[in-house]
């Protein structure tokens, strides 16, 4: 994997050990970013991503941390600053979902777990990024990309409406934060992946879910993490310099 060096500055990719996060870390490194690969449990996977980037001439570190825990988020950003420099970008990618169920079968503890990571974790990471990147705080600007989901629009009935609702909250944060930071050098955008071949579906109890639902996709197939990563890295980059508060659907077409 050829690298372009790390001249574009450092970015933090949460949930970067596998799936969309790992693909984003690899592509961002190819494009010239130094990458802080955050993970919660998948240490070997995250270190493998870092090893691949470093072997190709890029700069990267793996940092453990649960984004739902404030002190661990603080440590994540401190580690990035110490090893790679002040971040110029954040990819809010860490997310969880639980076994498919109807609302009446769900417990409060489940909702608390889902929202702790998917909503509060994203808020915590965005807060720390803003404190470092905003010109209001002496920073030089930057870019935040929130990884939402097509579920925010479909609602995922009968499967995981709690996950869908958490992504809906992220969509609202995306709009508000983009407006809040527009004059402080920070762009905020979101990517909404559709049915993507990742391990996340196994967490919902159906590893082969994409195969079951792909007929609903106009392109008649599931997407790859790399296809989502291209959208994320574009939004991170100066090529998207006049884009903020936007949503880029990577769903293979409008899904009814």
pLDDT of residue 66: 98
Whole-model pTM: value is 0.94
DSSP the chain: -----STT-EEEETTTTSHHHHHHHHHHHHHT-EEEEEESS-HHHHHHHHHHHHHTT--EEEEE--TTSHHHHHHHHHHHHHHH-SEEEEEE----------GGG--HHHHHHHHIIIIIIHHHHHHHHHHHH-GGGT---EEEEEE--THHHH--TTT-HHHHHHHHHHHHHHHHHHHHHTTTTEEEEEEEE-SB-STHHHHTT-TTHHHHHGGGSTTSS-B-HHHHHHHHHHHHSGGGTT--S-EEEESSS---
Locate the domains of the chain by residue range: 10-250
pLDDT of residue 214: 82
Kindly state the tokens that stand for 149.
Answer: 């989901």
Specify whether 163 is catalytic.
Answer: yes
pLDDT along the chain (256 residues), means of 10: 70 97 98 98 96 97 98 98 98 96 98 98 98 98 97 94 98 98 98 88 71 84 95 98 98 85
Which phi and psi angles does 175 have, rounded to 5°? -65, -50
pLDDT of residue 244: 98
Architecture per CATH, 10-250: 3-Layer(aba) Sandwich (3.40)
Please tell me which residue in 33, 160, 163, 197 is annotated as part of the active site.
163
- Strand-pairing partners, residue 11, are 35, 89
pLDDT of residue 211: 83
Q: How far apart are CA 105 and CA 111, in angstroms?
A: 12
pLDDT of residue 6: 60
pLDDT of residue 101: 96
Judging by DSSP bridges, how do beta strands 10-13 and 87-92 pair with one another?
Answer: parallel
pLDDT of residue 202: 59
């Amino acid at each position: 994997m050829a690298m372009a060096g790390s001249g574009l500055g450092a970015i933090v990719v949460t949930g970067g050990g596998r799936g969309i996060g790992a693909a984003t870390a690899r592509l961002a490194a190819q494009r010239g970013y130094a990458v802080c690969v955050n993970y919660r449990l998948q240490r070997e996977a995250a270190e493998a991503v870092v090893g691949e980037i470093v072997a190709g001439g890029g700069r990267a570190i793996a940092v453990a941390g649960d984004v739902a825990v404030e002190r661990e988020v603080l440590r994540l950003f401190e580690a990035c600053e110490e090893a790679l420099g002040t971040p110029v970008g954040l990819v809010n990618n860490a997310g969880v979902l639980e076994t498919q169920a109807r609302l009446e079968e769900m417990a409060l503890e489940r909702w608390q777990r889902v929202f702790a990571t998917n909503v509060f974790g994203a808020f915590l990471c965005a807060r720390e990024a803003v404190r470092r990147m905003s010109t209001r705080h002496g920073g030089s600007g930057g870019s935040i990309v929130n990884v939402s989901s097509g579920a925010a629009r479909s609602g995922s009935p009968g499967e995981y409406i709690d996950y869908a609702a958490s992504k809906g909250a992220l969509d609202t944060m995306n709009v508000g934060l983009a407006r809040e930071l527009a004059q402080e050098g920070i762009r905020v955008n979101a990517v909404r992946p559709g049915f993507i071949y990742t391990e996340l579906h196994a967490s919902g109890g159906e590893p082969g879910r994409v195969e079951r639902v792909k007929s609903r996709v106009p392109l008649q197939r599931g997407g790859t993490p790399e296809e989502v990563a291209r959208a994320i890295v574009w939004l991170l980059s100066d090529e998207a310099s006049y884009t903020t508060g936007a949503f880029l659907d990577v769903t293979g077409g409008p899904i009814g």
